Amino acid sequence: MSDAEQYHENENPPRWHFQDGLEISVPETAERHRAGEDGFILIDIREQEELDICSIDGALHIPMGDLPARINEIDADEDTTVALICHTGRRSLKATLFMHQQGLAGTRSVAGGIDWWSLRIDPGVARY
């Protein structure tokens, strides 16, 4: 197990193979988002029906299917961390790979998604 995997072992869902350079943990995401950190953007890529169930205050909403058409709305440069969150982290990982291809190498998928956010950060966020 690499150092990055050991560091993230307790921050991510059980049996989650954390991919350093592609993912960001839920605790780190929450900390940076709540601090309003410059150079950090949280984007919820879930569909509106999912957003209607639960959401994270202050997150930008761009559904995954709209990312190609709306990528110019994201105010990011090479030093910006763009954290993408979905339900479990699978869709956001695919979207992260797309964003990297578009030149936004600071994009990270939130490992475990909003489901893990609910379990780890805020139980007031509904699970579905």
Which are the catalytic amino acids?
86
Q: How far apart are CA 48 and CA 28, in angstroms?
A: 25
Q: Residue 60: phi, psi to the nearest 5?
A: -75, 140
CA angle 11, 14, 19 (to 5 degrees): 65
Amino acid identity of 16?
W
Neighbours of 27 (CB within 10 A): 16
DSSP 70-106: HGGGS---TT-EEEEE-SSSHHHHHHHHHHHHTT-TT
